[in-house]
Structure 1
């Protein structure tokens, strides 16, 4: 059997935020980072998700205070919009910084 050794066993991914590790939540946060408010329908279209899938991921982000929700009626129709909270922005930026550091380590 061939002896296999790890080049750099010191790579640490402990700083990654597990809440953002799912591609849907990454997509949601990415859209909310560059837009003040985004309606549910627009998020669904942009991310190509079902209502149920998007709703469950948004619920998780709202529960953890990463995303704020606003529900209102416009022309007698319900409109639900979301935005990243200040804490969510900070946490997502830290997550991205950790990903960047990880990529730099493995690229070298």
Structure 2
């Protein structure tokens, strides 16, 4: 039987399917534009905004604005806390699915 990992921690906030996909999309990159995330996830602006606000309130993501070609854009990135929570959640899921 495997010993549970020290960093494995099931996270109810991240576990919601769309929030899990948001974190998984942000994990391998420094940041992503809102429009890119929206297209990748195939959701409406309002749906993505709602989930991003919940992750931001927990301190899991940072949302910043920048201007490109005279237009305002939003970029989203995982914080150190968010990355730690995501990695721990994935580790917990792996332990659960290992059946031990």
- What is the TM-score normalised by the length of structure 1? 0.82
d(CA) in 1 for partners of 2:17, 2:77:
18
Runs of 4+ in 1 over 6 A off after TM superposition: none
Superposition CA RMSD, Å: 1.0
TM-score norm. by structure 2 comes to: 0.88
2:8 is the alignment partner of 1:18: no
In our comparison, the structure showing a higher alpha carbon Rg is 1
SS of 2:37 mapped into structure 1: helix
Aligned residues: 92
Q: Report matched runs for 1:67-86 at 5 Å.
A: 67-86=61-80
Q: Which runs of 5+ in 2 are unaligned?
A: 1-8
Structure scoring higher RCO (CA < 8 A, sep ≥ 6) equals: 2
